[in-house]
């Protein structure tokens, strides 16, 4: 498991292995726009300020994924223990 931190509030939210980042955010009352929930549409795209995402989407190009400055929380996860999100 890993954690995500909301840059605006400093709040840290744990993401268990069986939950998506999106589910963990919604459970915590954090509003994230969402549509396909399959990494295709890009609706949930969220800026990443720190940490390394584990990209599992089909929306970003490989070059965009490699920048690690955004990710799709509906399906992507983290390689680092913490992701700081621009939320
Ligand atoms: Fe479509 Fe996340 S909701 S990519």
* pLDDT tens track for 22-60: 999 999 999 999 999 999 999 999 999 999 999 999 999
Q: Is the pTM of this model over 0.90?
A: yes
pLDDT of residue 13: 98
Task: Establish whether residue 23 lines the binding site of ligand 1, counting it when its CB lies within 6 angstroms of any ligand atom.
Answer: no
Tally of CB atoms within 10 A around 36: 16
Helix ranges (DSSP H) in the chain? 21-27, 62-67
Alpha carbon of 12 to ligand 1 centroid (Å): 22
Question: Which residues fall within 8 angstroms of residue 36, CB to CB, at 6 or more apart?
Answer: 43, 74
- The per-residue pLDDT of the chain, averaged, comes to 98
- Taking the centre of ligand 1 as the mean of its atom positions, its distance from the CA of residue 24, in whole angstroms, is 15
Q: For position 25, what pLDDT does the model report?
A: 98
**Closest CA relative to residue 78, chosen from 2, 25, 20, 14:** 2
CA distances from 49 to 17, 36, 40, 46 (A): 22, 24, 22, 10
């Amino acid at each position: 498991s890993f954690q995500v931190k909301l840059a605006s509030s400093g709040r840290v939210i744990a993401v268990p292995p069986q939950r998506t980042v999106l589910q963990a955010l919604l459970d915590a009352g954090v509003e994230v726009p969402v549509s396909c929930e399959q990494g295709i549409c890009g609706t949930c795209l969220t800026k990443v300020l720190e940490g390394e995402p584990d990209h599992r989407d089909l929306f970003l190009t490989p070059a965009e994924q490699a920048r690690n400055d955004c990710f799709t929380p509906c399906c992507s996860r983290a390689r680092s223990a913490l992701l700081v999100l621009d939320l």
